[in-house]
Structure 1
Amino acid sequence: MIVKNNLRVLMAKNKMNIKDVAEKTGLSRTTISKLYNEQSTTIAFETIYKLCKLFDVDVNDLIYFDENE
């Protein structure tokens, strides 16, 4: 089991790119890019909060366990 995120899906649904998310959240483009490409090994609570607030979702809509991994 591995922890994954739905950032790519949320961005697509809201027609946003990495630049848009960075501008609206104040997060770095590097942070967003790593999450988008599933390359992050950690994620700060502040990052989770800002992304959940931007997309108006709960934490479990952003982060989930992949039982197949």
Structure 2
Amino acid sequence: MIKCHLSRIMGEKKLKVADVARAIDVHRNSITLLYDETATRVDLDTLNKLCIYLKCDIQDLFEFLPE
């Protein structure tokens, strides 16, 4: 299972989904799916923009948990 920590990171920085989506020029639904951990696909460009905007590494966003 892959766990997405976007909601925790955004909460720590007090960021809203709409603000992040607007700032990185990505559709709000893409951020919402990651935030809610319901995304089945992730665009690499979106991940790149998120890491730059949030000043984090990819391993800060995602974690692999063996089942």
Q: Match for residue 24 of structure 1?
A: 23
CA distance in 2, matches of 1:66, 1:27: 27
5+ residue gaps, structure 2, are none
RMSD over aligned CA atoms reads: 0.9
- The count of corresponding residues between Structure 1 and Structure 2 is 67
5+ residue gaps, structure 1, are none
SS of 1:64's equivalent in the other structure is strand
Q: Match for residue 7 of structure 2?
A: 8
* Residue 4 of structure 1, CA deviation: 1.7
CA distance in 1, matches of 2:26, 2:2: 21
- Normalization by structure 1: what TM-score? 0.90
- 4+ residue segments displaced more than 6 Å: none
Q: Match for residue 66 of structure 1?
A: 65
Q: Match for residue 35 of structure 2?
A: 36
CA distance in 1, matches of 2:23, 2:65: 28
- 1:5-59, Cα deviation, whole Å (9 max, x unpaired): 1100111011101111011111111001111111101101101101101110011
CA distance in 1, matches of 2:13, 2:33: 19
Identity of aligned residues (%): 33
* Residue 66 of structure 1, CA deviation: 2.2
